[in-house]
C-alpha cells in the first residue's frame, strides 16, 4: 500500500505478516535460542552484518523483532530494539554515546528509579548526570559542556505529569549538536511522538501503557535515524572503527540504521539486556488496543482531576489537562490528544492524610507501577522517591503531602466514589 497508514492500523498490523512457515495470523512465540544457518556462507554473511537474519536470541528473535518494529512504526523512527526493561533501555540507549568522564544533562522531573540509576549506577560507570529544570531551556543550554553527550527528559514527566516542551529542548540539543533522548513511557506514541518534535532517541518502559495490563516488564529504544553521529567526533563508537565488532564503522556502513545495528551487534550482544519472546507476546497483545485505552485513560484522568480540584480536602492537583494548569497551553501545542493519565494530588492533611488515603482506597491499588488498566496510587515520598532528600523530592514534584495517581480504564464515577470515601477517612 502506498498510503501512509494511520495509528490505529499500525498498532494492529505494523511489524508483522502472516507467519511465513505456517500462515499463523497472530505472531507466533518463537521459543527458541538459536537458528540453523543455511550453510557456512550464510553464517558468515550474518556475522559480518552483510545479511539480516537471526543468529541467537540474545541478539534477535522474530517475536521480539515484530514488537520492536511495531513500536518503531508507531513512533515514526528508522529502527529500534526491545530490551528486558525500561531501565535496560535507558542504559542501552546511552551506552554507545558515553564513556568515563562524560555527562548527560537530565531533567529534574524523572521517574524515581531513573533518578537513582542516573546518580548511583552512573557513578560506578564514571558517567555523570547534571540535573536541570527543563522548564528553563536556557539553563539546559548553560549546563552543557565539552563532555556532554546527550540531553535526557521524559515527555509527560513523572510524577506530576508535567509536559516537557520538546520543541524548545530539542532546539537546545540541536544547537549544541547533541542527541535528545526522550522517555516517552507516560505519553506513549498515541499522545506524543517525540521524533516529530526533534528527539533523536525515544526510550520506553513497555511495562506500562504499551503492554497496558501489568503483566510483563520490558523496554524499547527507537532511533529517529536522523542524527549525524560522525559530525563532531564525539561519538566514536558509531563513527570510528568499532573494536568490539571487528573494526566496522557503524555510521558509515549503516547510515540511518547505525544506532539500531550497534544496539543489536554490541549493546544486546555484550550487555545482554534482552527481552524474552513471551514478554514480547504479551506486549504485542496489549499494544493492539493502545489508542482505545489511551483515549479512555485520558478521559477518566480529566474527570477525576476535575473532581479532585474542586474538593475542599484537596490542596492542589497537578494535571496539565486542567484549565487552571500553567501547562495547559503547552498541552494543546505538544500533546493535543491529552495530558495522559498520571498526575499528583496534594492533600491539605499532609503526610498522614496521604498514608490514610492510600490505605483506605478499595478500587485503586497501592503499587509501585503505572500505566495499568487498573487505577493505581502511590505515596511517592514514602516509596519511589524515598532515597531523595526532601528538597530533591519537592523539586521532582513528589513532596510529602503528595500522592501520585495512575488512572485506569474503569468507570470514572466509580473511581471518584472510591476517592471520596477514602478522603473522608483520611481526615484533614
Ligand X SMILES: *Cc1c(COP(=O)(O)O)cnc(C)c1O
Q: Where in 356-395 is the site for ligand X (CB under 6 A)?
A: 370
Q: Which of 107, 207, 211, 406 binds ligand X (CB under 6 A)?
A: 207
- Give residue number: closest CB to ligand X: 86
194 binds ligand X (CB under 6 A): no
251 binds ligand X (CB under 6 A): no
Of 52-60, 201-209, 230-238, 321-329: span binding ligand X (CB under 6 A): 201-209
User: Would you say 396 and 109 are in contact if contact means Cβ atoms under 8 Å apart?
Assistant: yes
188 binds ligand X (CB under 6 A): no
Give the nearest distance from C-beta 195 to ligand X in angstroms.
17
149 binds ligand X (CB under 6 A): no
User: Would you say 218 and 206 are in contact if contact means Cβ atoms under 8 Å apart?
Assistant: yes
What is d(CA 261, CA 16) in angstroms, rounded to the nearest whole number? Answer: 20
- In the complex with ligand X, the residue whose CB is nearer, 186 or 200, is 186
274 binds ligand X (CB under 6 A): no
Cell 476535575 sits on residue: 306
Give the nearest distance from C-beta 111 to ligand X in angstroms.
4
Of 3-11, 194-202, 204-212, 420-428: span binding ligand X (CB under 6 A): 204-212
Q: Where in 69-108 is the site for ligand X (CB under 6 A)?
A: 85-87
- In the complex with ligand X, the residue whose CB is nearer, 208 or 330, is 208
158 binds ligand X (CB under 6 A): yes
Cis bond before residue 159 (omega within 30° of 0): yes
- In the complex with ligand X, the residue whose CB is nearer, 121 or 138, is 121
Number of residues that bind ligand X (CB under 6 A): 17
- In the complex with ligand X, the residue whose CB is nearer, 182 or 257, is 182
Q: What angle, 0 to 180 degrees and rounded to 10, lies between the N-to-C axes of helices 62-75 and 277-287?
A: 40
Q: Which of 11, 103, 164, 205 binds ligand X (CB under 6 A)?
A: 205
183 binds ligand X (CB under 6 A): yes
As given in the structure block, the three cell numbers for residue 198 are 526533534
- In the complex with ligand X, the residue whose CB is nearer, 110 or 224, is 110
Q: Which of 15, 113, 212, 267 binds ligand X (CB under 6 A)?
A: 113
- In the complex with ligand X, the residue whose CB is nearer, 86 or 408, is 86
Give the nearest distance from C-beta 35 to ligand X in angstroms.
27
Give the nearest distance from C-beta 52 to ligand X in angstroms.
27
Give the nearest distance from C-beta 149 to ligand X in angstroms.
20
Beta strands 314-317 and 342-347: pairing type?
A: antiparallel
313 binds ligand X (CB under 6 A): no
161 closest CA partner among 391, 402, 389: 402
319 closest CA partner among 402, 197, 213: 402
223 binds ligand X (CB under 6 A): no
Give the nearest distance from C-beta 263 to ligand X in angstroms.
17
**Binding-site ranges for ligand X (CB under 6 A):** 85-87, 111, 113-114, 154, 158, 183, 185-186, 205, 207-208, 217, 219, 370
Amino acid at each position: 500500500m502506498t498510503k501512509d497508514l494511520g495509528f490505529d492500523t499500525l498498532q494492529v498490523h505494523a511489524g508483522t505478516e502472516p507467519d511465513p512457515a505456517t500462515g499463523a495470523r497472530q505472531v507466533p512465540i518463537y521459543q527458541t535460542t538459536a537458528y540453523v544457518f543455511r550453510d557456512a556462507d550464510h553464517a558468515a554473511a550474518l556475522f559480518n552484518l552483510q545479511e539480516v537474519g537471526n543468529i541467537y536470541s540474545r541478539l534477535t528473535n522474530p517475536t521480539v523483532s515484530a514488537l520492536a518494529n511495531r513500536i518503531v512504526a508507531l513512533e515514526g523512527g528508522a529502527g529500534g530494539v526491545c530490551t528486558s526493561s525500561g531501565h535496560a533501555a535507558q542504559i542501552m540507549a546511552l551506552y554507545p554515546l558515553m564513556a568515563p568522564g562524560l555527562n548527560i544533562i537530565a531533567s529534574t522531573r524523572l521517574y524515581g528509579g531513573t533518578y537513582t540509576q542516573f546518580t548511583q549506577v552512573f557513578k560506578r560507570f564514571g558517567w555523570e548526570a547534571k540535573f536541570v529544570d527543563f522548564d528553563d531551556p536556557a539553563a539546559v543550554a548553560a549546563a552543557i559542556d565539552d563532555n556532554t553527550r546527550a540531553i535526557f527528559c521524559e515527555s509527560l514527566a513523572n510524577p506530576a505529569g508535567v509536559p516537557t516542551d520538546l520543541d524548545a529542548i530539542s532546539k537546545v540539543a540541536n544547537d549544541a549538536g547533541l542527541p535528545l533522548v526522550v522517555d516517552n513511557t507516560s505519553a506513549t506514541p498515541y499522545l506524543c511522538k517525540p521524533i516529530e518534535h526533534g528527539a533523536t532517541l525515544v526510550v520506553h518502559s513497555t511495562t506500562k501503557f504499551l503492554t497496558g495490563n501489568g503483566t510483563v516488564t520490558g523496554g524499547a529504544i527507537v532511533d529517529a535515524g536522523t542524527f549525524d553521529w560522525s559530525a563532531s567526533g564525539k561519538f566514536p563508537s558509531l563513527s570510528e572503527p568499532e573494536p568490539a565488532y571487528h573494526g566496522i564503522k557503524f555510521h558509515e556502513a549503516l547510515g540511518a540504521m547505525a544506532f539500531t545495528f550497534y544496539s543489536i551487534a554490541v549493546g544486546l550482544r555484550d550487555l545482554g539486556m534482552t527481552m524474552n519472546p513471551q514478554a514480547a507476546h504479551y506486549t504485542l497483545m496489549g499494544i493492539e488496543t493502545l489508542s482505545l485505552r489511551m483515549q479512555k485513560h485520558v478521559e477518566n484522568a480529566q474527570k477525576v482531576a476535575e473532581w479532585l480540584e474542586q474538593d475542599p480536602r484537596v490542596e492542589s492537583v497537578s494535571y496539565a489537562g486542567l484549565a487552571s494548569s500553567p501547562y495547559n497551553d503547552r498541552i494543546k501545542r505538544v500533546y493535543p490528544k491529552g495530558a495522559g493519565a498520571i498526575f499528583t494530588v496534594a492533600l491539605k492533611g499532609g503526610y498522614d492524610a496521604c498514608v490514610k488515603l492510600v490505605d483506605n482506597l478499595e478500587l485503586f491499588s497501592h503499587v509501585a507501577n503505572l500505566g495499568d488498566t487498573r487505577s493505581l496510587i502511590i505515596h511517592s515520598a514514602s516509596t519511589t522517591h524515598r532515597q531523595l532528600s526532601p528538597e530533591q523530592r519537592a523539586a521532582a514534584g513528589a513532596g510529602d503531602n503528595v500522592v501520585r495517581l495512575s488512572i485506569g480504564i474503569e468507570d470514572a464515577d466509580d473511581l471518584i466514589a472510591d476517592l471520596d470515601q477514602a478522603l473522608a477517612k483520611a481526615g484533614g
